[in-house]
Structure 1
Amino acid sequence: MRRKLTAALLTAAMAISLTACGGSGDTASAGASTGETASVTEAGATTTASGKEVLRVAMSADYAPFDWLQEDDSNGAVMTSNGSYMNGYDVLVAKYIAEKLDMDLEITQIDWDGLILSIQSGKVDCAIAGMSITSERSQSVDFSDPYYNANIVAVVAADGPYADVVNVTDFEGATLTSILNTVWYDVLDKITDYATKDAALDTFASMVAAVHAGKIDGFTCDMPSAKSILVSNPDLKIIDFEGGTGFEVSNEETDLGIPCQKGNTELVDKINEVLAGLSKEDRDAMMDQAVASQPVSN
């Protein structure tokens, strides 16, 4: 799903239920479970003192529940070079891939706009950062198979008139909105013949407040964001459409992949082999773990 939203907007948006703790340096490396210092061998391969090769992964740490910074190692967070820790679904996936490939993990925190450049320059091997697999990006990097599908859902009041919706056409007469410059807002153009597409709002916090105030009946977003919102807003409900009853979107807008350097088919193939053994149920369980672990504002 990532991203039409800018990193700054995403950080502000998640503030309704999340708080990113700790500072953020340009680079945040973690020797996965060992904490060993990485070095470069004469052959050019990056290894640790254990003799294992290192999987160098970039993340932006601004998109909970996919990735965030925190102040300690609770819930399996990975240590960063500046004393902070990184956690989230992307961290869980990175740890899983590194373990299956028998590699040590090094995570580097890089701003969203610099992720692809860091891969092209060879600073990192890949990025696991909620990046959608678009044809435009595929001109610069080679993507793995999808590691998550961020399907679009609706969030409504649990005791409201649209709490039992099962098809988008059931939103007849409803007033819905989302955040500007997102596919979540764009899909509402397809239901304006029977529902009202309200003016876009700036943050998740403003959309939740609008539902509570009765100004709108609901809003659209991706499933992980919706789950995050419900952590501190149990009076809301997620409408998850199934069987072709939801919003019409392309795979480019919902499939998230792992970009690698162009031409690095060896790494892409290895990652794909690992992902093939990770079922949808496994991925959903990892996302649920990430949502449950994320810091929540009081």
Structure 2
Amino acid sequence: MIKSNHRTRAIAALGVTTLALGLAACGDSDDGGEGGIADTYTVASDTSFVPFEFEEDGEYVGFDIDIINAIADEVGFEVDLATTNFDGIIPGLQTGTFDIAIAGITITEDRAQTVDFTNPYYKSGLRIGVAADNTEIQGVEDLEGKRVASRLGSTSAAYIEENIEGATANTYEQLDQMYLSVEGGGSDAVLYDAPNVEYYILTTGEDSLKVVGDLLEAQDYGIAVAQGNDELLAAMNEALAGMIEDGTYAEIFEKWFGSEPEWLDELAESAS
């Protein structure tokens, strides 16, 4: 069952630079000395990644928010939620502004050199979205030489630059700007994480955009943790594994995506 949680306290919807001025190193963490699990951790998120994290009726909600709250309950710490732009999350973990980050962050070799990741908690990929009346772009091969919208600092932006010949990556800090760029004609297509592209097109963009092509680049999302917090990382992995085993994870997933994930067994294997 989903556990009730009233631990999350939003700090501010500010950029990482402003947050750095207002928060002590390692956020609000206080473990009374080296080692151990702190009473409170500053958790960074970019709350524009629907349905993983977003603002609704003045509160931050979403799949990621429920996941981190359930983990915090199990491990035994409070969450101070700090919102920032996605491209400020990894630097914020490196400088000690944040302790933990959850924001649909793809686990990559480059990122794993500077922050630690929990075991995967979501399996994703990249999707292409185009204007509803576009008949020219049917798949990734048709993006050559095109203007492709994506998110600043994302793996999808890197994919465009590294894999699509002649394409221009139009990158934006806010997700809605990506879709508006395609709807307004500033970009020929959007390439971004599958769940967000699919959700946007099913809701806000149902009359203006459509999904084309195959799922690209299978990806794992992980919860990022500032390096040096090995005990915290181990405790979070244990909590995540327990949530998958006892059904809490599946219940949270179904709440936000309408059904249990088809890859739940694979996720359980990676968590064990």
**Is it true that 1:238 corresponds to 2:203 in the alignment?**
no
Unaligned runs of 5+ in 2: 1-11, 23-27, 259-272
Q: Which residue of 2 aligns with 1:178?
A: 149
Name whichever structure is richer in strand by fraction. 2
**Is it true that 1:263 corresponds to 2:236 in the alignment?**
no
SS at match of 2:13: coil
- State which of 21, 24, 29 in structure 1 corresponds to 2:13: 24
**Is it true that 1:68 corresponds to 2:50 in the alignment?**
no
Task: Report matched runs for 1:200-215 at 5 Å.
Answer: 200=170, 203-204=177-178, 205-210=180-185
Evaluate the alpha carbon distance shift between residue 105 and residue 161 of structure 1 in structure 2; reply closer, same or farther with a 3 A threshold: same
TM-score for both structures, normalised by structure 2? 0.59
- State which of 210, 221, 240 in structure 2 corresponds to 1:275: 240
Evaluate the alpha carbon distance shift between residue 267 and residue 45 of structure 1 in structure 2; reply closer, same or farther with a 3 A threshold: closer
Amino acid at match of 2:206: P
Q: Residues of 2 paired with 1:283 and 1:241: CA distance? A: 27
Q: Residues of 1 paired with 2:108 and 2:89: CA distance? A: 17
Q: Which residue of 2 aligns with 1:100?
A: 74
Task: Report matched runs for 1:35-50 at 5 Å.
Answer: none
Amino acid at match of 2:109: S
Larger radius of gyration: 1
SS at match of 1:232: coil
Pairwise CA distance, 1:154: 0.9
Pairwise CA distance, 1:226: 0.9
Evaluate the alpha carbon distance shift between residue 271 and residue 162 of structure 1 in structure 2; reply closer, same or farther with a 3 A threshold: farther
Query: Deviation digits for residues 126-164 of structure 1, max 9, x if unmatched?
Result: 22233333334333332112223441101134565379x
SS at match of 1:179: strand
Pairwise CA distance, 1:286: 5.3
Pairwise CA distance, 1:200: 3.6
Q: Which residue of 1 aligns with 2:105?
A: 131
Amino acid at match of 2:194: M
Give the superposed CA RMSD.
Answer: 4.5
SS at match of 1:210: coil
Pairwise CA distance, 1:201: 6.8
Q: Residues of 1 paired with 2:89 and 2:205: CA distance? A: 33
Unaligned runs of 5+ in 1: 1-22, 29-37, 48-52, 73-84, 290-298
Identity of aligned residues (%): 21
Q: Is the 8 A contact 1:61 1:69 kept in 2?
A: no
Q: Residues of 2 paired with 1:152 and 1:134: CA distance? A: 14
SS at match of 1:224: helix
Evaluate the alpha carbon distance shift between residue 200 and residue 138 of structure 1 in structure 2; reply closer, same or farther with a 3 A threshold: closer
SS at match of 2:69: helix
Amino acid at match of 1:92: D
Amino acid at match of 2:81: T
Pairwise CA distance, 1:283: 6.9
Amino acid at match of 1:260: V
